[in-house]
Structure 1
Amino acid sequence: MIRRSWTPAASIEETLALWAASLREIKKRIRPLFTQERVATNAGLFLEGLLGDEQRKTGWMRAEAAGDPGPWRQQAILGRGDWDADALRDIVRDYVIEHLADDDAVLVIDETGFLKQGKASCGVARQYTGSAGKITNCQIGVFAAYVSRHGHAFIDRALYLPKEWTDDPDRLEAAYVPADVGFATKPKLATRMIARAIAASVPFKWVAGDTVYGVGNIEQQLRRAGKGYVLGVSSAHVFRSWGKRPPVAGTAADIARTRRSSDWKRLSAGAGTKGPRLHDWCYLELADLEAEQSNSANDGLWTRGLLIRRRIADDDLAFFTTWCPAGTAIETLVAVEGHRWAIEDSFETAKNEFGLDHNESRSWHGWHRHVSLVMLAFAMMAAIRHRANPPPPKKTKRRPPAKAKA
């Protein structure tokens, strides 16, 4: 599956050759995960099915594309096979970094829902999901996407288990949930993903997330690691300035009401499908701290702040807690927050084109295996898109013509 809009700079022949070479390389990378050649072959066919043109990536559809008489081989990859989905996750992460790495990249944390019927699928419960915009029967997956100037792709994932699941040993056993898996909040799952990225030396400068992830230990974790962040918080979140900064204290909503019209700046958070994503923004620097006070790996002053976004159409407000090197411009923070759009686009693309939400397995392992294979397919196409659309050469200043000698 190759969108022509992804590779406008390359010919069809060049793109197809790149696609074939990338698929061969991917299959070679994942081969050590499987003890039997037959299973590795079936995994490769599963991946080809995800990359195919079929609208639904069900077991039957993938089997038909692979020439199998039924879906059993495809289903065995998710259920009965003995291979490590976390090892595949790490392969995906390394592949993404190999092709899209940039020191100024943003790690975006977000979640998405998988609508389900019944109660047997691992982690399913009546819970809120933005995918449906309401409380409904679904699974929730927490994801980390790597977003750089070269492109974006998922590098980590985790299935959220509500307490009604972790408090029910029989239900956990029926879904083959490992014995060492207990209840973890979504922010806790996010801190584990960030820790894995840091441990793997993933190059990134910022972390962005919505209001689910602007609480808990994420802020302290990122400060210790020397990473900046723009994390959503609720309107009731309390902010206070200290040190030499002008006095500010109160909830985010109260502080926003005291801002003057001159405090706001109209900026774009990035290009959208209908042009620049313009909002009005206000940024308050609340305190400057020496890096060593937070055990940061970076030297110098860092600033804690409050970023406020106001929608032009109806004045609806959103609030973000920020941490950045002192002197960071509001334009930079707005751009970081705007990177969250990339993971929303990734969810839509992964569901519509790679079958992210077409998993038919009900087990813990089945969910993580299916999602990791989809992440691999998505990463491959992100790398192809980058390689087929090389960035333009840097502009160089033209030298003035030499003066003629007298």
Structure 2
Amino acid sequence: MAESWTVVGDRLARWQAGFDDAFALVAGRFVQADSRRRARMYLLGLLSGAEWKNSWTLAEQAGDLTPDGMQRLLNFYRWDADAVRDDLRAYVLEYLVDPSGVVVGDETGFVKKGTKSAGVQRQYSGTAGRIGNCQLGVFLTYVSAQGRALIDRELYLPVSWTGDRERCEEAGIGAEVEFATKPVLAQRMLGRLLDSGVEVGWFTVDEAYGDNPRV
């Protein structure tokens, strides 16, 4: 039994060291000390076994009595989400990149109850398997013999959003953001990957994307 606990403890220690190394790559993107601390706790909460993950549950994971701190991280603290994305993409590709690597483009839905979340409307979600109130995100995954990881993301904004500048402003969406189809979002992410100098053996998408000549 003692040996078993030693093995578990060693795995946890190595996992913690790996997490700390990865977070160190992006910590500098969070200027304020409190934003860095909360970003670290937020990520640990996302990696936890909690069934539901929102500002309340992640705050509880961090030992906070209210979600105010986590909401400040998401809504008020200044940090560059795209720079964090680029840092993490470079980190995972350092371990996974392969000349025959496969890049997978696909979307997923996030079921919502309200109307304030950016991009939310009644639309088909493969996650739910039906039309419902949800957000849709388009993602890139890199796959090789060494493993797989998400490396990029774009939030799909329907015309009901991009055509309503007041609604966009309220949700923090800049005036420069225009409507783009989901295949265009996938193409945009693939372009960023290729611009970073990564060799791609294959790019795969489902029929809804593959039928688009631009992809």
Determine the structure 1 residue equivalent to 2:209: 213
C-alpha separation between the residues in 2 aligned to 1:130 and 1:67? 34
Task: For residue 74 of structure 1, report the CA deviation from its aligned partner.
Answer: 1.1
Q: Deviations over 1:286-337 (max 9, x none)?
A: xxxxxxxxxxxxxxxxxxxxxxxxxxxxxxxxxxxxxxxxxxxxxxxxxxxx
Rg comparison, structure with higher value: 1
**1:179 Cα offset (Å):** 1.4
The answer as to 2:160 corresponding to 1:169 is: no
The corresponding residue for 1:252 is none
Verify the 8 A CA contact 2:109 2:137 in the aligned structure 1: yes
Query: Who is 1:280 aligned against?
Result: none
Preserved contact between residue 165 and residue 175 of structure 2 (Cα < 8 Å) = no
In structure 2, the partner of 1:159 is 155
Does structure 1 retain, via aligned residues, the 8 Å contact 2:120–2:134? yes
- Runs of 5+ in structure 1 lacking a partner? 1-10, 220-406
Write the distance in 2 (CA, Å) between the matches of 1:134 and 1:91.
35
Partner of 1:77: 73
CA-CA distance at 1:153 after TM superposition: 0.8
**What TM-score do the two structures reach when normalised by structure 2?**
0.92
In the alignment, the residues of structure 1 paired with residue 55 and residue 89 of structure 2 have an alpha-carbon distance, to the nearest angstrom, of: 26
- CA shift digits 1:196-252 (9 cap, x unpaired): 000011232000100121133445xxxxxxxxxxxxxxxxxxxxxxxxxxxxxxxxx
* 1:363-405 Cα deviation digits (max 9, x unpaired): xxxxxxxxxxxxxxxxxxxxxxxxxxxxxxxxxxxxxxxxxxx
> Is 1:109 paired with 2:135?
no
Q: Which amino acid in 2 is paired with 1:178?
A: G
Assess if the C-alpha contact under 8 Å between 1:186 and 1:212 holds in 2: no
> Which among 191, 194, 205 is matched to residue 190 of structure 2?
194
1:51, CA displacement in angstroms?
1.8
Question: Which AA in structure 2 matches 1:114?
Answer: F
* Aligned 1:3-402 pairs, distance under 5 A: 11-219=7-215
Report if the CA contact (8 A) 2:104-2:143 is conserved.
yes
1:249 maps to which residue?
A: none
TM-score of the aligned structures, taking structure 1 as reference length: 0.50
How far apart are 1:76 and its partner, in Å? 1.2
The CA RMSD measured in Å over matched residues stands at 1.3
The match for 2:4 is none
Residue type of the partner of 2:63? G
**Secondary structure of the equivalent of 2:133?**
strand
In structure 1, what is the Cα distance between the partners aligned to 2:214 and 2:69?
Answer: 41
Is the contact made by 1:106 and 1:146 (CA closer than 8 Å) also made in structure 2?
A: yes
Q: Report the structure, 1 or 2, having the larger strand content.
A: 1
- C-alpha displacement of 1:23: 1.6
**Off by >4 Å, runs of 4+ in structure 1:** none
Q: 1:176: Cα distance to partner?
A: 1.0
| Cα distance, 1:168 vs structure 2 | 0.9
| SS state at 2:173 partner | coil
> How far does residue 53 in structure 1 lie from its aligned partner after superposition?
2.6
Give the superposition deviation at 1:12. Answer: 2.6
Aligned residues: 209
Q: Distance in 1 between matches of 2:196 and 2:11?
A: 31
3-state SS of paired residue (1:68): coil
Distance across 2 between alignment mates of 1:132 and 1:76: 30
Indicate the SS of the match to 2:155.
strand
Alignment identity in percent?
A: 45
For the residue of structure 2 that corresponds to 1:114, the secondary structure is: strand
Unaligned residue ranges in structure 2 (runs of 5+): 1-6
- Partner letter of residue 126 of structure 2? G
